[in-house]
Amino acid sequence: MTALIAGGVDCDLHPAVPHLTSLLPYMNDYWRDQVTTRGMTDLVSQSYPLNSPISARPDWRPAQGKPGSRLEDMQRQALDPFKVAFGICNPLHGVQMVFSEDMADAFCRALNDWLAKEWLDKDARLRGSIVIPVQSVEKSVAEIERSADDERFVQVLMLVMGDMPLGKRHYWPIYAAAERLGLPIGIHAGSAYHNPPSSVGWGSYHIEDYVGQAQAFQNQLTSLIVEGVFARHPNLKMVMLESGFTWLPPFLWRLHKFWRGIRMETPWVDRAPLEIVRSNIRFSLQPVDAPPDPAVLHRLFDHMQSDELLLFSTDYPHWQFEGNDALPEGLSSDLVRKIMIDNPLATYGRLKHEAATEMTP
């Protein structure tokens, strides 16, 4: 087993909302009445079916309730064993599936306040991602600005499958707000299910949805690059969460070839796609979609041409590895330090500032 380094950053933890009623204390009277009057029970996405094996490791699955819904479980099963200094909470609650802009806004606001009160307040290691109502760009910007007042929120969270490509100018005010406040955009696997999760329509089985997530990340990365997001927002970082990363080298080879061939179509893309990825895009480690042979993995890292792209993550409580084997075999201690500490701190400006402050005598 590759040895862990204490003091790392886990960039992808998933605290679960125990029940929709858990958010009621963080809603105003109108929305509390709406939830109870309508008989709303929960907002559960099919991206992670509760009883699917990959949705929770057997030893991380509680006897009752949702996996990841208890802080003490996360502390005992993830924060303590992996010796992290910081853990970034990415709550996957089905607010992106709501069509109403006003309802989505109310749920996102409540979800962010719930995360701060029930998790961040209770463990100094935890940090949060701001969940935004992407149904309304205006409300999304307002929620980013509101929640960002709490320095413990270090990222803005979006899903990889929504209503349109993420490079579209429709979303640029969100990116402008995140860049101005020094917050990366975390793009997580998952879907609003307003559109089929594949380019050829609806599949029959969960595996088709799950495998198709990597294709969605490729589509979105193409959109973000060719639409010119990083030409407009050069200091914006984006983190692909649960995207996998072994597809990156062949994807970039193909994109680079066609960018060179038809670059007159997008003159604002004034750097090669690989250069943009190196400067602005990062990828979470888990799930590691590489063969178990360390030699093959090292060749893959060589093809990626950078040791700064990967960020440590456990994807707690999802089932991606056994025991404490969160890191692939055969990584050097220098590369482990890059993945666990250096790369995350370089990506998350608020964590870097806090870590530097703590080290200052």
Whether 35 contacts 24, CB under 8 Å: yes
- Residues with Cβ within 8 Å of residue 260, at least 6 apart in sequence: none
CA distances from 65 to 70, 74, 134 (A): 9, 14, 28
Q: How confident is the model at residue 69 (pLDDT cuts 50, 70, 90)?
A: very high
| pLDDT per residue as tens digits for the range 111-120 | 999 999 999 9
- Is the pLDDT at 29 greater than 80, yes or no? yes
DSSP-derived 3-state class of residue 49: coil
CA distances from 186 to 90, 204, 357 (A): 9, 29, 24
| Mean pLDDT of the 52-81 span | 92
DSSP-derived 3-state class of residue 307: coil
- Is the pLDDT at 93 greater than 60, yes or no? yes
| pLDDT per residue as tens digits for the range 195-233 | 888 888 888 888 888 888 899 999 999 999 999 999 999
| Mean pLDDT of the 14-18 span | 94
| pLDDT per residue as tens digits for the range 256-278 | 999 998 888 899 998 999 999 99
Q: How confident is the model at residue 1 (pLDDT cuts 50, 70, 90)?
A: low
The pTM of this model reads 0.93
pLDDT at 360: 53
CB-count burial class (<10 Å; 0-12, 13-18, 19+) for 105: buried
More confident residue, 57 or 291: 57
DSSP-derived 3-state class of residue 39: coil
pLDDT at 53: 82
- Is the pLDDT at 280 greater than 70, yes or no? yes
Percentage of the residues of the chain whose pLDDT score is greater than 70: 98
pLDDT at 126: 98
Whether 67 contacts 56, CB under 8 Å: yes
State yes or no: cis peptide before 317, omega within 30 of 0: yes
Closest CA to 156 of 178, 125, 181: 178
